[in-house]
Amino acid sequence: MNAHPDPGVASGPVSGASPVAGLSGTDGAGTLAAETPGPYGALPAGLTGELPRDVRELFSRIHVVSIPMVMRFRGVDTRTAMLLRGPAGWAEFSPFEEYPPPEAARWFAAALERAYVPGPAGTVRDQVPVNATVPSCDPEEVPRVLARFPGCTTAKVKVAQAGVPLEADIARVAAVRRELGQDGVIRVDANGGWSLAEAKRALRRLAEFGLQYAEQPCAAVEDLAALRAELAEAGIGVPIAADESIRRAEDPMRVARLQAADYIVVKVQPLGGIAQARHIVAQTGLPAVVSSALDTSIGIAAGVELAALLPPGPDGEPLACGLGTVGLLRGDVADPSLRPSGGMLPVTRPDADDALLERYRADPGTAEAWLARAQACWELIRRTPGGEARGHDHAS
C-alpha cells in the first residue's frame, strides 16, 4: 500500500510502506478468524505474508487527533486517538494514557482487526439501541446531558467517583429518574470504586430507583460474587454487571465461574477486537451489553457491529448499548458523526473526514508519543505465537 503523509504524526510522513497483507481468513460471519492468540491479542488472518518491523508500514495513513470533551469524564477533558487506515478501512487505537503497552496492545490488536478484516456479511440487526451516559455531574446538569442522547430511554449514570459523596450520587440518579420517568431504564456504573461494605450500603439506597443493574460496584471479582449473594439474601433486587473484571482481567471467565455477575459489559478495543469479544460472550454465557471506551465514530462503529452480532437480552429484546458517547465529545473525525437518532445507531463503517482530521490534529509532541505507543504495542503483538516467525527480523 502507498502511505500518505500524516498531518497528525510530526516526525515525518508515513512513507515507504509496501504491501504486507491481503484480506483473507474471516469466519462465517465475516469477522476475524484469529491466529494463535498470545497474551497481547491475536493477529488477524487477513495479515498475510511477512510482518514489517515498523508499525507505519501496516497502514496507508496514520493520524493522531485530540478532541475536547463536553465535560470532564473519566478524569479527562480531552480525548486523544490514533486513526489508522488499512485495506478494510479506518480503525481506531485509543487506549487511555495510563495504560502501559501490555494492556494497550489489546487495543492495538482490535485496530489491526478493524483495519484488515472486512465487515460481516450479515448481522442479527441493522441498528442497535443505545443508552445515554451521565457523568459524575450535578443534578442540575442532568437534563442538558440527557438532551445529547435523543430518543434514549435507558441511561447509565456514573457513581462512586473519588471525593464525591454518596448523597451526590443519589441526587444525580434521582434527577435521571425524574427526566426519564418511571418507564425509563437506569443503570449505575461505579468503575470498581466501592469497597464491598460501601457497595452494599450504596445499593440499598439506590435500589429505590429500580436499577436494571449496577456495573462493576467493586473492583475484585470475589467481592462482586459476595455482593451479588448478599443482595439476593437481603431481598435487594439490584443485578450486578461486570466490566473491568472482564476487559482488564487475565481470566475474564472467573466472573462466570464465581457467579459474580448477571450481565457482562464488553468493549471492542480493550478486549482485542470483535472476534475476541464474541468469544468471551459465548464462553461466559451471560447477557452482554456492548459499551464504548470514549471512542470517536470510527471506534463506535466497531462496537455497533459487535452489538448487532450478539443475541438479545433476557427479555428477548436487544440490550441498550453504551455506544452513544460521541455526544460527550465536542467534535469528531467522521461527518456525519455516529450519534443516536431515536435512541438507535446504524450498523455502518464511516470514513474519517480529512477536514476534521486536520481540525483536531494533535500537537507534534502528542503525535510522536502516540506513534511510539503504537510501535511498542506492535512489537509485543508481532512476537506472539504466529507473529514472530513471519517478521522481517528476529533481533531483540
Annotated binding site: 189, 215, 243
Is 200 annotated as catalytic? no
CA-based angle 268:274:277, to the nearest 5?
75
Q: Indicate which residue of 106, 158, 278, 361 is catalytic.
A: 158
Of the listed 106, 267, 339, 361, which one is catalytic? 267
Binding site for Mg(2+), by residue number, is 189, 215, 243
d(CA 227, CA 210): 18
DSSP 8-state class, residue 350: P
Per-residue exposure over 333-368, b if at least 16 CB sit within 10 Å of its own CB, e if not: bbeebbbbeebbbebbbbebbeebbeebbbeeebbe
Helices within the chain (DSSP H only): 101-116, 142-146, 166-180, 196-206, 221-233, 244-247, 254-257, 268-271, 274-284, 297-309, 354-359, 364-382
Q: What is the C-alpha to C-alpha distance for residues 289 and 273, in angstroms, rounded to an integer?
A: 15
Using CA atoms in the order 108, 291, 293, 271, what is the torsion angle rounded to 10 degrees?
Answer: -30
Adjacent-strand bridge partners of 157: 134, 188
**All cell numbers assigned to 195:** 469497597
Q: Which residues pair with 51 in a beta bridge?
A: 391
- Owner of C-alpha cell 443493574: 213
Kind plus residue range of the DSSP H or E element containing 240: strand 240-242
Residue 101: what are its φ and ψ, rounded to 5°?
A: -50, -40
Burial class of residue 122 in the structure, from the number of CB atoms within 10 Å of its CB (0-12 exposed, 13-18 middle, 19+ buried) = exposed
Active site residues: 158, 267
